């Protein structure tokens, strides 16, 4: 493992800097796509509200389909080559959409196929990335590294959402996807430049376990640890609610509120500024009041203002959307900063890929369901009512944390307590497992 550079100087850590640049570029491109794909579907293909929700659901469906075995494979393979392959596949797929549009082959079916394929690549990339970061940073540097990564990701999201709407308005939604394709090229170059090399896992070092057995082991870590159970259940409920309103918010702002594409992108980007604030203050607040108490503040207190979002109207009424979305983003990112550090220090490195995939399978698995639910409610009840229902569910999801060990603690643990059921293979006590919501904020 490379030695971390302390005292706020992680940007001078070359491998971390390259990983940070590549991940930030990818987040920017994903944010551009988050605006341009719905706008492309609505403005060019005249997609229905349900079809827009289906696009979001399809992008997240691979977590349900292959999330668990990917965690096992990532623990068996070196993580950096997995990330390189996933970035290359995404580059080709996103570049294919403008080509299809120029040649007259663009359709909802093609967008769904691209969403499913890039979502599959994202499963591999995210699982490998989450398990790779601890290998290049010392444990004491990981909280700072997570804060910087989440903060820059939120900043990139702001820039991507704002410029995505602007690109769609000035050059067309199709051309906005070229920006995303270019960001994966940046990711490839950055990942290729990392000097740290993971040791090759030989056959002799691999445990003679079946794929099913190792998948069961990852799920067993969740079932046997009360902290992990609480975070995973909360992540599933929270992501259902978050994606329920976020999957139709662009349609809501365009068709119900009556905003133009440029203003939609700017407004959604402004709400994402809460993520930068959340990343900036997460460690400071956690250090002052404790990581467990800060988790409740960020996951329950701030998201309560999501209740303002359904009151959005044209003119000064857009401030309701801005205030609600800002606080939700701040809470999601701050909570993820705390939980990412918790997971990386609490879990043994050889189980981190499996644990990441298992928690993501259960937590991210509700995201496509939330997108479908949002689209269905928008079709049946109307967009404003659907937004109201799903926004109200965001703070309600955090009640799961209230009725968990987190409520009685000041800080999240760094190792499992005597009541934890998490064990390493062979019966030895494991480092346990943490969870990160990885919310769709």
At 211, the pLDDT band (50, 70, 90 cuts) reads: low
Using an 8 Å Cβ cutoff, are 77 and 70 in contact? no
Question: What does the pLDDT average to over 156-181?
Answer: 70
pLDDT at 156 over 90: no
The overall average pLDDT reported for the chain is: 78
What predicted TM-score, i.e. pTM, was given to this entire model?
A: 0.66
Distance CA 167, CA 172 (A): 6
The residue ranges of every structural domain in the chain are 15-197+211-427
pLDDT value of position 419 = 43
Q: What is the pLDDT of residues 73-90, one digit of tens each?
A: 777 778 888 889 999 999
Question: What does the pLDDT average to over 404-426?
Answer: 65
Cβ neighbours of residue 402 closer than 8 Å, sequence gap 6 or more? 296, 300
Q: What is the pLDDT of residues 341-358, one digit of tens each?
A: 787 777 766 666 667 777
Least confident of 15-24, 107-116, 134-143: 134-143
Q: Which residue matches tokens 């990330």? A: 83
Which position has the higher pLDDT, 121 or 130?
121
pLDDT value of position 438 = 40
DSSP at 123: H
DSSP at 423: B
Q: What percent of the chain has pLDDT over 90?
A: 17
CATH of domain 15-197+211-427: 1.20.1250.20
Alpha helix (H) residue ranges in 193-317: 211-224, 226-246, 249-251, 261-289, 291-296
């Amino acid at each position: 493992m490379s030695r971390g550079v302390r005292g706020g100087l992680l940007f001078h850590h070359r491998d971390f800097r390259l990983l940070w640049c590549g991940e930030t570029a990818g987040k920017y491109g994903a944010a551009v796509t988050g605006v341009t794909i719905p706008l492309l579907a609505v403005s060019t293909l005249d997609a229905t509200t349900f079809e827009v929700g289906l696009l979001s659901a399809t992008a997240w469906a691979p977590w349900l389909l292959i999330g668990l075995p990917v965690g096992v494979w990532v623990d068996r393979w070196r993580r950096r080559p997995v990330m390189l392959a996933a970035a290359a596949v995404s580059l080709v797929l996103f570049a294919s959409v403008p080509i299809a549009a120029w040649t007259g082959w663009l359709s909802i079916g093609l967008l769904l196929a691209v969403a499913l394929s890039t979502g599959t690549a994202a499963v591999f990339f995210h699982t490998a990335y989450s398990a790779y970061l601890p290998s290049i940073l010392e444990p004491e540097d990981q909280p700072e590294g997570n804060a910087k990564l989440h903060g820059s990701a939120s900043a990139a999201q702001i820039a991507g959402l704002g410029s995505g709407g602007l690109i769609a308005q000035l050059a067309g939604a199709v051309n906005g996807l070229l920006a995303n394709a270019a960001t994966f090229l940046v990711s490839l170059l950055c990942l290729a430049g990392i000097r740290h090399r993971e040791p090759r896992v030989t056959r002799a070092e691999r445990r003679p376990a079946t794929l099913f057995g190792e998948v069961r082991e990852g799920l067993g870590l969740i079932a046997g640890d009360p902290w992990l159970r609480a975070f995973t259940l909360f992540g599933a409920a929270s992501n259902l609610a978050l994606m329920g309103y976020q999957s139709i918010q662009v349609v809501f702002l365009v068709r119900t509120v009556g905003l133009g594409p440029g203003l939609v992108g700017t407004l959604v980007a402004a709400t994402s500024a809460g993520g930068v604030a959340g990343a900036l203050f997460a460690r400071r607040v956690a250090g002052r009041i404790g990581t467990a108490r800060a988790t409740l503040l960020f996951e329950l207190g701030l998201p309560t203002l999501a209740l303002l979002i359904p009151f959005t109207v044209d003119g000064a009424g857009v401030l309701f959307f801005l205030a609600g979305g800002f606080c939700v983003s701040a809470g999601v990112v701050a909570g993820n900063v705390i939980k990412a550090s918790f997971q990386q220090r609490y879990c043994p490195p050889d189980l981190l890929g499996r644990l990441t995939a298992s928690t993501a399978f259960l937590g991210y698995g509700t995201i496509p369901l939330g997108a479908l639910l949002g689209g269905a409610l928008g079709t049946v009840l109307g967009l404003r009512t659907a937004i109201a229902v799903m926004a109200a569910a965001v703070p309600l999801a955090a009640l799961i944390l209230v009725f968990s060990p987190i409520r009685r603690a000041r800080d999240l643990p760094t190792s499992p307590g005597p009541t934890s059921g998490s064990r390493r293979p062979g019966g030895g006590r494991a480092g346990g497992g943490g969870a990160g919501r990885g919310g769709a904020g």
